[in-house]
């Protein structure tokens, strides 16, 4: 018996809608990352993007466990001397709630061209409205 390898021409992608209200950030992000990679399908192939499109709504209402709301800090460097920038997760949820979920999912995906292509299939909205009704996304409970 030969090993099955999916070809990119044969991939059939679905659209899923996930409501992030009162969901734990890490558990939500890991489930979304698996769906974007296609690891939840029996046709998963590591070198082919077999994942589905995922729409996440209510990004600003995501929960964090423990003392992460007060202690978790996002750090990035501008590249210039003295350019270390830090921002607390509570501030990020107020200013850019979509970026919190995007960073969590991005850091769970492969750090390659394939991972960047997978991230493009993720659509995040801070409210409950989205503009992908024409794709008829299936609601998914996590």
Digit-coded pLDDT (tens) for 45-98: 999 999 999 999 999 999 999 999 999 999 999 999 999 999 999 999 999 999
- pLDDT tens-digit profile of 5-59? 999 999 999 999 999 999 999 999 999 999 999 999 999 999 999 999 999 999 9
* pTM of the full structure: 0.94
The DSSP element (H or E) to which 77 belongs, if any, is strand 73-77
Name the superfamily (CATH) of residues 8-64+97-140.
Ribosomal protein L13 (3.90.1180.10)
Find out whether 126 and 98 touch, Cβ atoms under 8 Å.
yes
Residues in the chain: 142
HSE-CB at 55 with a 13 A cutoff on CA atoms is 19
- Quick one: CA dihedral 105, 48, 53, 18, positive or negative? negative
């Amino acid at each position: 018996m030969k090993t099955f390898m999916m070809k990119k021409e044969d991939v059939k992608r679905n659209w899923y809608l996930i409501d992030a209200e009162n969901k734990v950030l890490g558990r939500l992000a890991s489930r979304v990352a698996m769906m974007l990679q296609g690891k939840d399908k029996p046709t998963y192939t590591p070198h082919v993007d077999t994942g589905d499109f995922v729409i996440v709504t209510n990004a600003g209402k995501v929960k964090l466990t423990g003392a992460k709301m007060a202690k978790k800090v996002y750090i990035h460097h501008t590249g210039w001397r003295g350019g270390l920038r830090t921002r607390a997760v509570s501030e990020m949820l107020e200013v850019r709630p979509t970026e919190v979920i995007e960073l969590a999912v991005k850091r769970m995906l492969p750090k390659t061209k394939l991972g960047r292509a997978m991230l493009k299939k993720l659509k995040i909205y801070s409210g409950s409205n989205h503009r992908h009704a024409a794709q008829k996304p299936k609601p998914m409970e996590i």
